[in-house]
Amino acid sequence: MPPVNSDGAGPSSGEDGSAAAVKKRNRPKYHRFTQQELQACKPILIPQTVILVLVFVGLIFIPIGLACIAASNKVVELVDRYDTKCVPRNMLRNKVAYIQNSSIDKTCTRVFKVPKDMKKPIYIYYQLDKFYQNHRRYVKSLNDMQLRNPKKVADTQYCSPEATANGRPIVPCGLIAWSLFNDTYSFTRGHGNETLRVNKDGISWKSERNRRFGKNVYPKNFQNGTLIGGGQLNPSKPLSEQEDLIVWMRIAALPTFRKLYGRIDMDLQAGDRVEVTMQNNYNSYSFNGKKSLVLSTAGWLGGKNAFLGRAYAIVGLACFLLALLLALLYFVFPMREEHLSLHYIPARLVR
């Protein structure tokens, strides 16, 4: 038999060895963390445990919900929509012409009847509907540096289309400031016998007064264009003291929103007659919007809103119903011990 040529097997064996060495070098270092072999708690949720947890959640959520509903019910709130009721009858079909005609007197009188005692402070809000302050172009139409830095008053970048008027920069610029709400309210109790003073101090956030709006930035060239948007500003007061503007420029997330107008630091008794004299100046008719005046007290959860309490109560009741359903299923179809085991026989061993 001829001798076997060993030279042919040498290179093949060497290549296998080098490939194995490369593969071994590329293999990641073994660690229990990377291999997900760390000790872990793997609880088995038996029916008794789930039922107890659901009952516990229900016992916690239902009292919280009832407490929130009770707090909301204690808040006294008066709401009056006045946008259509303050328009003369002969102009109800042409409201835009009415609001844009400066020669027409916009004074309007409304009367509130207090149903329950209202303890001070009584907060005054104006409410707008169908006003999309969250529109992208509206939100971006301002310059924050101009609002707080007196050296940047000429910077009107991003303020289009209300950046300049008559060739000069507008301070504050942008659509948000330009559309400032300008309806006004004054209050009397009885038949005009007692004036209820409206306090506007501190209606804005302190952080906005100190940081967002500058103490040395004053309104300039504001509402001097061909198209007037909303209210005027006092040119002798810095922006940090123009609290109506500060409140208005805090953007609302939804098309229906309320903003704080002021507060009355006097108690109102049940049966009191409150007369409101308002100037219906703001144009909400061009976009078919609504305007309302709101008088409200406040509780430990804020204003009148039963949603949070109802949500807690509904979730608590749902947990009770699920616990009852699971208890019935558990008694009708009891679980055996083998149902709770994590060890299963592989299919190949069964064969």
Mean pLDDT of 262-275: 93
Per-residue pLDDT band for 350 (boundaries 50, 70, 90) equals very low
Task: Share the mean pLDDT of the chain.
Answer: 87
- Residue 299 scores a pLDDT above 50: yes
φ, ψ of residue 139 to 5 degrees: the values are -65, -40
pLDDT tens digits, one per residue of 60-72: 999 999 999 999 9
User: Would you state the structure tokens that stand for residue 252, as one six-digit string?
Assistant: 């609302």
Tokens of 272: 């009191």
Cα separation, 51 vs 206, whole angstroms: 48
Residues in contact with 68: Cβ distance below 8 Å, sequence separation at least 6, in sequence order: 301, 306, 308, 309, 312
| Whole-number pLDDT of residue 22 | 55
Three-state DSSP at 183 gives: coil
Calculate ∠ Cα 163-167-172, nearest 5°. 35
Its pTM stands at 0.79
Higher pLDDT: 1 or 194? It is 194
What pLDDT, in 10s, does the model give residues 218-248? 999 998 878 888 889 999 999 999 999 999 9
pLDDT at residue 343 in the model: 52
- Read off the pLDDT of residues 94-112 as tens digits, 9 standing for 90 and up: 999 999 988 899 999 999 9
Burial label, 72 (beta-carbon count in 10 A; 0-12, 13-18, 19+): buried
pLDDT of 30-40, one tens digit each?
888 888 888 88
- The answer to whether 191 and 175 are in contact (CB under 8 A) is no
pLDDT score for 193: 80
What gap in Å lies between CA 158 and CA 309, rounded to an integer? 42
Per-residue confidence band for 16, with pLDDT thresholds at 50, 70 and 90: low
Alpha helix ranges (H) inside 170-294: 175-178, 206-207, 243-248
Q: Do the Cβ atoms of 197 and 264 come closer than 8 Å? A: yes
Instruction: Inform me whether the pLDDT recorded for 1 exceeds 50.
Output: no
161 prior amide bond cis, ω within 30: yes
Residue 192 CA to residue 276 CA, distance in Å, equals: 10
Rg over CA atoms, the chain:
35
The region of weakest confidence among 16-30, 93-107, 189-203 is: 16-30
**pLDDT (0 to 100) of residue 31:** 81
User: What's the confidence (pLDDT) of residue 17?
Assistant: 59
Cα–chain-centroid distance for residue 203?
Answer: 18
DSSP 87-121: S-GGGTT-HHHHHH-TTS--EEEEEEE--S-BPSP
